[in-house]
Every structure is written in C-alpha cells, then in structure tokens.
Homo-oligomer: A and B are copies of this chain.
C-alpha cells in the first residue's frame, strides 16, 4: 500500500481540481500533477523518481539513520521526563523523524529555519543542543537558545505566525543579494490560518527565497485534515503562483531530495516552493492530549508499518552499508544522549525571580524599572521579616 492511498480518508471531489485517489502506480498522472515523491519504500526498497534523484555515500546514509535514531531517543527521553514531572509539557515528534531530518539535512549553514514547536529533529540538524529545547517545556524560559548561533529561530507557538517571519527574513536575504534560503515549518492545521496564506502571497509577489515545509501529520490535535482542507495541501501553492509537491514524509531520502531541490530553486531566485511532507503523528498531540478520544488504533498501526527509521535500517542492512557494530554504536550513543539530557534537565536551574523584569525592552522602560524596584523592595521586606 502506498502512502498516498491511505491518505484518501474520504472520497474527494473528482472535479478539475485534479486530486488523485489511489496508488500512483494505478492511476495515470496528468502531466502537470506532482506525484507523491518516494525514493525509499516502507519495505526499504530503493526506487527512483524522474525529478528527484539523490546520490548519497554510505556514510551519509548512515548519518541520516543515526540522526533519526538519536532524535527519536531524545524525544522519548523528553516524553518520559515529562511523565516524571521534570517537564511541564512535551510535544513529541514521534513518526516525523524522516520529514525533519530529511529537510534539516538539506539545509546549508547559512540558511535560516523558522520552526513550530515540534521541530526537535530539525534543531538537531542545526546543531542546537537538545537540552536547550527543553527549557520552555520545563517552564524556565520561553526559548532558550540564540537563534543566530545556529540560524534556527525560536519555537513559535501561535499557529502560522512564523511563516510570515520566514517570508520577511527571506525578503531580506534577497535584498542582501545573498544566495541563502529560508525554510518555514508548519502543520496541516496551520494551513487554515490567514497568516499562512498571506505568507504565500508575500513570498510570491516578492519572489522570496523561502521553502514552506508542511508536515501533514494528519491531525491538528483532534481534528483530521478534512476539517482544514478539501483537496491535498500541496495543490494550494499553484493558485499562489509557485510549485507545490507532496513527498512521502516518512522517507528521509525523498524529504532530503525534495527539500534540496526547493532550496536550490530559492537560491536561483525562482521564489518559493511548498513541500507537503505526508506523514503521521504517532503520539499524542502533546503529553496533555488523549488521542484515544478521537482516533482509531488501526490508523496508527497502519502507519507503524511505514516507520521512517525501520526502512532505512532495512535498506542499510540489505545493501550491506552498515554492520552490526554500527547499529550497536548508534544504540550506545543514543543511550548516552538520553542520559545526558536527563541529567541536564534535572540540574537545570530555575530562573532568577527578577528575570520577570528582564528583556521586556531592549532600551528600557520607566515603568518596568519602577515595578522592578518595587518588587525587589517587596521581596526584601519578607527577607527582613524572616530574620
């Protein structure tokens, strides 16, 4: 079963909008209609695609595998740290490793990333220390890293907003005459937000070098994609004047190839591309969510068979590109990562109380100064009483 055939959760309109319903193998494609791009099947079989080819060394392939394994391990650790009360909340990326590592590894250092709140795998690719991601979920800050150190913007919680920031940033890149590109992540639910449509308009009009990377994980909390759209999302792009492509989001090779191609298009000054990575949120929306209230186990099981990591492992093994030692090493490395993260979180200090008043303004504000002083005096009065 292809990824696409599962996608058709309900019958779509058969009008000129041109949706396709079943396996690409069965339905002849209209010439201008993008296929679901796949380069590695769920069974670990390497297939080709006329528009998206990629030639990776064994090292690179193992690298992608390692990235995904470590990201999953980190994510699992965070989920368990939340259960232990060390984090207030966690938004798991389970199931979306290929979409994130594939797109993340397509980036150059000088490219810039605008994530949502779930791009832990992309953060990993950018070299953001995973423990830094945990600050906001623990409640010690609202964003614990310097965006400019790794060209990885802070997580954005208000849905869709970051797509406009990415577009503006990309407009600036073009103004500077740089050949960097920008990537904006968002979800299937986010596609309904006016801001996302406005970012499509601005990026099209200014021909901004930005890639819109939608992880369609089938759910926006409890709402399936039918509540957000009537036809597959990638098709939205062409109505704004730029190409859209749907890629198997559980196929790290395809995600890498498609994103790379879109980034290169941006660098060449040809403007934005929408990439829809067709994937699945294997876990709950966040640790406070209970998906049993709204979705069937069978759906999850069907997607389990398309696991993004397993297929790469099968491929590496079948092709003899990695030996047992490599898998053991990766396993050990991932255990070490888990341990490091656990320890780092447990020893993460609470912020200083006076931080409430810090960084509200860059150049200061009289009222903040006044309130800071009053608050300090108020706290000092308790300290005195306590004496």
Contacts and interface: CB of A to CB of B under 8 A. Distances in A.
Contacts of A198: 192-194, 197
B243 A239 contact: no
A147 interface: no
Contact of A243 (B16, B194, B196, B205): B16
A229 to B, nearest CB: 7
A205 B231 contact: no
B236 A17 contact: no
A53 B179 CA distance: 51
A18 B17 CA distance: 13
Contact of A239 (B32, B195, B201, B231): B231
A205 B229 contact: yes
A32 B230 CA distance: 18
Given A13-B241, A236-B239, A241-B230, A194 B195 contact: yes
Nearest to A200: B197
Contacts of A13: 241
A238 interface: yes
Contacts of A17: 238, 241-243
Nearest to A272: B230
A201 B192 CA distance: 6
A239 B241 contact: no
A259 interface: no
Given A32-B18, A197-B194, A198-B192, A229 B240 contact: yes
A18 B241 CA distance: 9
Contacts of A241: 12-13, 17, 19, 229-231
Interface string A13-46: 1011111000000000010100000000000000
A31 to B, nearest CB: 8
Nearest to A231: B241
Given A18-B238, A243-B17, A205 B230 contact: yes
Given A32-B18, A194-B195, A236 B230 contact: no
A137 to B, nearest CB: 29
A242 B205 CA distance: 23
A226 B238 contact: no
Contacts of A184: none
B243 A229 contact: no
A191 B12 CA distance: 26
A91 B227 CA distance: 38
Interface in A178-212: 191-198, 201, 204-205, 207
A158 to B, nearest CB: 13
Interface of A: 12-13, 15-19, 30, 32, 191-198, 201, 204-205, 207, 226-231, 235-244, 271
Given A16-B243, A230-B240, A231-B239, 14 more contacts: A13-B241, A16-B238, A17-B238, A17-B242, A17-B243, A18-B238, A30-B32, A192-B198, A197-B198, A205-B227, A230-B271, A231-B241, A236-B240, A238-B239
* 10 smallest beta-carbon distances between A and B, as pairs: A194-B194, A230-B241, A197-B197, A239-B239, A236-B239, A231-B241, A16-B32, A204-B230, A17-B238, A192-B201
